[in-house]
Structure 1
């Protein structure tokens, strides 16, 4: 197959557009954001996917708001589920016709980090730094998947093949969350030490925060509390059994005490990241707010999972420090309380198979938890605009109609 490929591209701050780009091949060609040393990289180990579902992520919003150095024309999208329609000559185990989930981290499977299951910081896929992703600034320039078709390298290693095509089609709206937000939320919960009986606080009721809350429930938490400034998103958290705190309505520790009887929790997850705001109505941006608040409410000896995105360059930062990712974090408080911190990209492959099994066997309904909402590829600009305004939805793009008529169950 050849021809065009319609895709969502970043144009300028606040604007995306659906454009026709080249149909993918098994070679990474020059284009917006492609690392110079990756141009011409031949991927005999890759496949071409027909995309069945691809999601808008909060990380994409950081770029669209102009909070990164993303170039004009960068094709967006790192949450991809698709059907294999072409495979490279070095692919052994993935077959044409397989329905697969694509981890957002691109990993070679050969380097030291990959062999240690640290696939978020593969050493061989991005000439600029460890780690790569589809459709993301400074992550190697691999073309994004908010499109009709996409190329995936190192297919045998990267792809999670669903064992039954019909079951995958039936659960596609849940399974599309395996590429990023469900493993990312799970990573936040599990690295913070969530276990049976834990009290858990999740900062942020966006899709990753809701996924972290659902993951904490799956892990057996006794109480899961979600905090946010957005009432609609807090209502979504309550819809599947979470307690909530409205951060415009009083001190976090006092509201936690009203729920669990003491002003602290065992476990906390930062699902907000560097665009955090102070905890009050009409609050200004204060990027260290969440990290500092979590250190206050996590018990001594507890831990913080930090899947929320922090960056090394933020052109829209509130001050010169913030523009370089330098935050005023109360590390002394965390040190005094012997806190453990886990940061960085989620290594999706560490978790996605077990989470797939939980979905296929009805142990979790992640699409319902995050309020998955299917829209057409052409409606992506509207989805970005509504998400930016705080809509409590996880927008799922439907390029080929595989999700026609489907709603979260």
Structure 2
């Protein structure tokens, strides 16, 4: 087996590069961002994966823009789908050759929170705070998966094995969304209380917002309205039946919703934007509390708000001293007066990924189409980051070994011959 391993590495604000890194083993070694208390941690409960698909996430972009305290040299990537090529001595149920989805939350399966299905706030994997993820700032230092190979701990507990390898490879562009954005979008819609006949507002038409909108449709919403500043992204939302509001042109969200629904409010709302929010209307600049305040304004009294959008405790690029430490001017009095219910934090992927997998395999969910999945090579990752940062209506899937493109080419050849 070759011991080479190439990966996407954060090199400082606005810069990523593809570099050679160490081939993984079943120990968490020292490196950029690794908490000293995690160095040398043995992972005989883990596996080594050959990465089949690994995606660029909006959360990665926050780091690449320099809007977090991520260190230079951090290996990026928390959306991982791969083939098991090595198993640790404590692994019982995962086998070499299995194709698996990796939840972006790293979870031990042993602590109180994991036993309560709150795998997004595991207390045993990150000495800094509850909760962890691959290739992410302040998350314990677990090496990211935008690479050719990666180590995944606690494999028996965490990994979602696909039941049929060939079927999985046929649907890999949908299934790779199970590591993060499909469960995250679903969590936003589900925790907002979306049900049969609900009217829903989704703030943000990036991949998570589009996944939330598609999830709201799966949950039975009657109308899903998506707001964004970029027309190309709104066009993508309209492509699968959403109503849209271009917030670069309008600053009165309630009036825009009233034009669609006849009333200026919705039953449920999802914040899929997070802390790098912009004000609404022509010429508006960054205003990090805008989305939270606007969704409270347009959600009916007694409604629920799902908030999968990322908010951080440290933002070097914040617009003022408060924003730099995650202190925002939120109208909590409005939310209190309207008896709103808020759900925040990382998504507990394992609550959702198995039944969302079944929805994909039964063709009830078309998540790759909804988010405009676009396959690129590992070497194309830096340009993918650049294009995505400009607001492209695409979800970039990195194909480190060319497996997806070879599969797609073979399928096209088969169609031509039939």
TM-score w.r.t. length of structure 2 = 0.97
Match of 1:4 in 2: 4
Aligned to 1:202: 202
Greater mean deviation of Cα atoms: 241-250 or 220-229: 241-250
**Counterpart of 1:265?**
266
Secondary structure of the structure 2 residue equivalent to 1:403: helix
- State the distance in 2 between where 1:43 and 1:365 align: 35
> 4+ runs of 1 displaced by more than 6 Å?
none
Alignment partner of 2:380: what SS?
Answer: helix
CA deviation profile, 1:66-103 (whole Å, cap 9, x unmatched): 00111111000000000000000000000100000000
Residue 211 of structure 1 aligns with which residue? 211
Give the secondary-structure state (helix, strand or coil) at the position aligned to 2:404: coil
Deviations 1:119-143 (A, max 9, x none): 0000000011100100000000000
1-side partners of 2:115 and 2:77: how far apart? 26
Report the equivalent of 1:184: 184
Please list, as runs of the form range in 1=range in 2, the aligned pairs for 1:139-288 lying within 5 A after superposition: 139-250=139-250, 251-288=252-289
Q: How does 1:5-404 map to 2 (within 5 A)?
A: 5-250=5-250, 251-404=252-405
Distance 2:291 2:10 in 1: 28
- In structure 1, the residue corresponding to 2:185 is in which secondary structure? helix
- Residue matched to 2:416: none
| C-alpha displacement of 1:281 | 2.4
User: In the aligned structure 2, how far is the partner of 1:48 from the partner of 1:248?
Assistant: 45
- Shift in Å, 1:375: 0.3
- The count of residues paired between Structure 1 and Structure 2 equals 408
Provide the secondary structure at the position in 2 that maps to 1:190: helix
Cα offset for 1:2?
4.7
Q: Deviations over 1:327-377 (max 9, x none)?
A: 000000000000000000000000000000000000011000000000000
Cα RMSD for the two superposed structures:
1.0
1:129-164 Cα distance to aligned partner (Å, 9 max, x none): 100100000000000000000000000001000000
Deviation at 1:3, TM superposition (A): 1.4
CA distance in 1, matches of 2:212, 2:375: 21
* Cα distance in 2 between the residues matched to 1:90 and 1:125: 17
Shift of 1:4: 1.7
Give unmatched runs, 5+ long, in structure 1: none
Deviation at residue 402 of structure 1 after TM alignment: 1.4
Per the TM alignment, residue 38 of structure 1 is displaced from its structure 2 partner at its CA by: 0.3
Q: CA deviation at 1:401?
A: 1.0
Find the counterpart in structure 1 of residue 415 from structure 2.
Answer: none
1:369-395 Cα deviation digits (max 9, x unpaired): 000000000000000000001111000
CA–CA separation in structure 2 for the residues paired with 1:72 and 1:169: 34
In structure 2, distance between residues paired with 1:42 and 1:147: 21
**Per the alignment, in what secondary structure is the counterpart of residue 211 of structure 2?**
helix
Tell me, in whole angstroms, the C-alpha distance in 2 between the residues paired with 1:242 and 1:289.
22
Q: Tell me, what secondary structure is at the counterpart of 2:393?
A: coil
Deviation at 1:111, TM superposition (A): 0.1
- Displacement of 1:280 in angstroms is 1.4
CA distance in 1 between partners of 2:125 and 2:202 (Å): 32
Q: CA deviation at 1:13?
A: 0.4
